[in-house]
Chains A and B, each alone.
Chain A
Amino acid sequence: ILNVEQSPQSLHVQEGDSTNFTCSFPSSNFYALHWYRWETAKSPEALFVMTLNGDEKKKGRISATLNTKEGYSYLYIKGSQPEDSATYLCAFRQGGKLIFGQGTELSVKP
Chain B
Amino acid sequence: SQTIHQWPATLVQPVGSPLSLECTVEGTSNPNLYWYRQAAGRGLQLLFYSVGIGQISSEVPQNLSASRPQDRQFILSSKKLLLSDSGFYLCAWDQALGTAEAFFGQGTRLTVV
Interface positions of A (Cβ within 8 A of B)? 1, 6, 31-32, 34, 36, 43-46, 49, 51, 87, 89, 91, 93, 96-103
Residues in B whose Cβ lies below 8 Å from that of A102: 42-43
CA distance A93 to B99 in the complex (A): 9
Taking residues whose C-beta sits less than 8 angstroms from the other chain, chain B's interface range is 20 to 34
Question: Does the CB pair B107–A98 fall under 8 Å?
Answer: no
- Which residue on chain B has the smallest CB distance to residue A30? B98
B7 within 8 A of A: no
Question: Does the CB pair A98–B104 fall under 8 Å?
Answer: no
Cβ contact of A100, chosen from B43, B99, B106, cutoff 8 A? B43
- Which residue on chain A has the smallest CB distance to residue B6? A43
- Which residue on chain A has the smallest CB distance to residue B101? A46
